[in-house]
Amino acid sequence: MRILALCLAAGLLLGCTETGNQRKDQVGETVVGQSMARAKDSVCMNNLSQIRTAINLARTASAEETELPPALDGYRGLSKEMIACPIDKKPYEYDAVAGTVKCNHLGHEKY
């Protein structure tokens, strides 16, 4: 939330004029809109990091809990907002066999 507020303030200081959009997904038509999209990019990266940490903890847990979760929904307190990309609201792609999770939003391929 703090990051979002800082991005909005920076956008207001720089002016809310239209700019050429350099984003792959073309989200955000103004400086403020693009700043908000970058803040959501950071939220997406953070969500994926926390989900991966939870999955890795399951792998290294005691013998009773070595199975990977069959789905992310409701796993170890992960909220619905946390298991979907904050920009397009589509759920993250989870491979229960490999224990991997990724975002399919354009521009988030490397997260």
* Residue tagged 């999955």 (tokens): 55
pLDDT for residue 38 is more than 90:
yes
Contact partners, residue 72, CB within 8 Å, separation at least 6 = 51, 78, 83, 91, 92, 94, 101
Q: What integer pLDDT is reported at residue 85 of this predicted model? A: 96
Residue 14: its pLDDT value, please? 54
The pTM of the full predicted model, rounded to 2 decimals, is: 0.75
Which residues are registered as beta bridge partners of 18? 30
Domain boundaries, the chain: 2-13+28-102
Q: Which residue has the higher pLDDT, 84 or 69?
A: 84
What confidence score (pLDDT) does residue 107 get? 93
**Nearest residue to 36 via CA among 13, 3, 84:** 3
d(CA 2, CA 81): 18
Residue 89 has pLDDT above 60, yes or no: yes
Cα–Cα distance for residue pair 36/26, rounded to 1 Å: 13
Mean pLDDT is highest, among 18-22, 31-35, 88-92, for 88-92
The SS3 of residue 102 is strand
CA dihedral (84, 57, 108, 37) positive or negative: positive
Which of 18-22, 62-66, 79-83 reaches the highest mean pLDDT?
79-83
